[in-house]
Structure formats: structure tokens, C-alpha cells
Amino acid sequence: MSESESNFKFAFYLGCIAPNRYPGCESAAIKTCKKLGIELLPLKGASCCPAPGAFGSIDLNVWYAMAARNLVLAEQMKMDIALLCNGCYKSIWEVNHKLKHNQDLRDGVNEVLKEIDMEYKGTINVYHIAELLYNPKYVGPEKVRDSITNPLTGARIAVHYGCHLTKPHKDREFEDEVMLNTEHPVWMEDLVAALGATPVEYRNKMQCCGAGGGVRGYDLVHSLDITNEKLINLKEVGVDALTDICPFCQLQFDRGQIEIQEKFGVSYNLPVLHYCELLGLAQGMSPQELGLDLHGISCEPFLQKVL
């Protein structure tokens, strides 16, 4: 496929952890999406979503107003938002949804936004990049498969879905109903298989990474213990890498493994890659181009298998 034809344009909402801790996720998303006909344009002046755990816990009204400011920036560009983090999805998608459907919340938010000459109008939609990649209306697994030049043949890869893209499913509105299955979804496995890799199931796949709700900051050992349980279950089935669609989950699994080594004395050395990074590798991007050297856990053993 020619790189020049972009069928879809989105305002690319970055969040915090992707641009400021795993910039490879940001560049991988831009480059891989471009190859698939999606152009991601900078959303100038965007801030933290803000963190749904930290801000939502303190004052939900501030959470609504701060997320609304980010939404208004995209409304001013007259563009839908695409993003690559589940935490951001909760803030940006969910606040958009709440404000569209609750006049009282919308009035409250607009009263505050008036102070900074902004008004939330409810004119745009919000999408997670994983959702765009899975939906054939935008991309779809077939087109993902057609875009790859370096199939990840032989690699056993497990998926960590994370929580806030699909949960709570009662509030979510995905075009494809399989994405509303939060007990045992397999749509991400389809995307992994499209890269030529072997998706691997493991016990309690849908368990949380442990980082959310401010728990990582409040009680690190408690939060790492949740992560450790997932790592034990992953070790049981033997995988070459874990893939995620949330940089915060990625931080918890990647840097978290170093902290788990320090605090619990167990090491797993399991490479953890955002799906956009995996897609980049399969599309022929080099590990350097993807910033994989910035990961806490070395991706080398996995790279030797797939490159």
C-alpha cells in the first residue's frame, strides 16, 4: 500500500506516559497508522487526560472539566480523537460520553470552561487505536496482515487487555460487539495473529495490571503483587513477549518487573511491548526506530526470535 493515501485523519491525543516515558509508542503509532491509511495529527496544547484514578478520586467535577478541555481542543480542529492508552480512553471517551448524555454535567463543565473562553459542544468522537485497527471500517485484521513485511513467525505472544478500554462494558459503545466481551475477549489475539505470531492464552487473562486507581502511588508493593500474579500465570504458559494497548500497563509490567526483582527477589525478564511497537516490528521498523532500547526489560531475546 502506498504511504501517501490517508483515508482517515484523527487528532492524536498523546497523554503522558507514551510521549514522556515510552516515546517509541508514539512514533510507532504515527508511522504504522500512516501505512494503514490513518493520519495522526498533533493535538496542540493537550494535557494529561487527567489521570482517572488520581483526579477522579479527588473530585470528579475537576476530572470532567479537565478532560473536556482536551475534547474542546479537538472540537476546534473539527476532528475525532485517536489515542493509544486505556487510562486516557477512560477519561477522554467516558467524559465525552457523559457530557453528551447529561445536560447537568455539561452545564457545569461549560460554566468553568467559560472562564478560559472555551465551550464543550459534543461534536466529536473518541477512538482507541486498537479499536481502529480491529474495525474493518478503518483498518481491520486483514489489512493489518497485508501491511506487514516481517511476520513475527514462531513468536508466542500473550495479550494484556487492561481495564479501561472495555470496562465497564455496560457503559461502552463499540461497533463490534465482540469488544464488549470483558470475560474472555479474543479480538486482540486476532490482531496478534495478523502479525504472524502465535497468540497464547493464560490464566486470569483479564486481571488488572495493578497500577490503576492511584494504587501504584499509594501502595507500590500491593500493586506489584497484582502484577506478579499475572507474571506467574504468564510464566506458566511460556511466552516470548507480552503485548498491551496501554502505556501505563506497560510501565507497570516493564519497569514493574525491575521493582518486583528488588522487592520480591523474582525475575521474569519478559519483554513487554505496546501493540503499536509490535506492529512496527512486523512492518519492518528497526528496534532503534521503535525506541525498544528504552524499555526496562530487554527485548533482545524476543527480537532475536523475530528479526
Partner 1 sequence: MSIMARTKGYPEALEKKLRDQRYYREDSNPDFLKNVKTISRTIAHMCYQCGTCTGSCPSAPRSSYRIRNFMRRAVLGLENEALTDPDLWLCTTCYSCTDRCPRDIAPTDVIMAMRNLAFKRDIVPVNFLKTVQAIYSSGHGVPNNDVNRAAREKLGLTRDPPTTHMYPEYVKGIQKILDHYKLKANADRIVKEREG
| H or E segment and range at residue 282 | helix 275-282
Is residue 202 within 8 A of residue 121, CB to CB? The reply is no
- Helix, strand or coil, per DSSP, at residue 42: strand
Cβ closest to partner 1, residue 193 vs residue 303:
303
DSSP secondary-structure letter at 180? G
Shortest reach from residue 164's CB to partner 1, in Å: 7
| Short-list 7, 275, 5, CA closest to 148 | 275
Cα–Cα distance between 122 and 228 in angstroms, integer?
A: 41
147 in contact with partner 1 (CB under 8 A): no
Question: Which one among 122, 151, 213, 296 touches partner 1, defined by CB under 8 A?
Answer: 213
Q: Does 123 engage in binding with partner 1 (CB under 8 A)?
A: no
Q: SS3 of 122, please?
A: coil
Using rule CB under 8 A, residue 24 touches partner 1: yes
Contact window for partner 1 (CB under 8 A) among 74-82, 147-155, 212-220, 295-303: 212-220
Residue of the chain from 186, 193, 206, 303 that contacts partner 1 (CB under 8 A)? 206
43 binding partner 1? (CB under 8 A): yes
- Cell 496544547, residue located: 45
> By CB under 8 A, is residue 56 in contact with partner 1?
yes
For position 167 contacting partner 1 by CB under 8 A, the verdict is yes
The answer to whether the Cα torsion of 150, 153, 156, 159 is positive or negative is positive
Q: Is residue 287 part of the contact set for partner 1 (CB under 8 A)?
A: no
The answer to whether 208 contacts partner 1 (rule: CB under 8 A) is: yes
Residue 6: strand, helix, or coil: coil
Task: Give the other-Cβ count within 10 Å of 263's Cβ.
Answer: 14
Residue closer to partner 1, measured from CB, 192 or 209: 209
Nearer to partner 1, 17 or 92 (CB): 17
Which of 152, 246, 159 shows the shortest CA–CA distance to 194? 152
- CB nearer to partner 1: give 37 or 287: 287
Q: How many angstroms from the chain centroid is the CA of residue 108?
A: 29
Residues 184 and 102: their CA atoms lie apart, in Å, by: 31
| CA–CA dist 119, 31 (Å, integer) | 33
Instruction: Reduce the DSSP state of residue 29 to 3 states and report it.
Output: helix
59-118: contacts with partner 1 (CB under 8 A) = 59-62, 65-66, 69, 112-113, 115-116, 118
Which CB atom, from 78 or from 137, has the smaller least distance to partner 1?
78
199 binds partner 1 (CB under 8 A): no
Window of 52-60, 136-144, 151-159, 190-198 that interacts with partner 1 by CB under 8 A: 52-60
Site residues for partner 1 per CB under 8 A: 14, 16-17, 19-21, 23-24, 26-27, 42-48, 50-62, 65-66, 69, 112-113, 115-116, 118, 163-164, 167-170, 182-183, 206-208, 210-215, 217-219, 222-223, 225-226, 229, 288-289, 291, 294
